Structure 1
Amino acid sequence: MKHVLEELKGILTTQAGLPPAPITADATLADAGIDSMAVTVLSMQLEDRMGVFLTEDELSRAPTVTALADLIASRAAGSR
């Protein structure tokens, strides 16, 4: 899970241009600065990098950054 959280943070900071400081495990998506544009970038990058397909709606429903990482991890585990 920690690996997924770091990958998530990396995508959000390098590809979506978000500052790293507010992207903490317990932050809400809004507090972390994850807006609809960042969710769109994240959706595309997850598919390209990890072969994980999650819709923007699925991603934006996560209540926290940890929940988002858990969702990504569970979907990645299911695609193996």
Structure 2
Amino acid sequence: MTAPAEPSGVYISSARMYTELRSLSDGVTRVETKLDGIGRGLTDLSKDVADHESRLRTLEHAIWRAAGGAAVLGAGSGVLAQFLMR
């Protein structure tokens, strides 16, 4: 009979596996923490964007009202000028 063949391949001890698993777990925890921070930042950013959008809409309405008022005043003064020149 021949002696059993020596196993080929790589042997990883239980202690080494545990160490690698803990390292991987710590890495995942760090990534989760960073993702939570990014999520909070995006929530704050969306609130800022909504606020800026509201402010822009208010300014646009004010500009259109001012332009309409200027058009009415311009037309009125033109009519008044024609009436006074006669």
Q: Which protein is richer in helix relative to its size?
A: 2
Higher relative contact order (CA 8 A, sep 6+): 1
TM-score (norm 1): 0.21
The structure with more radius of gyration? 2
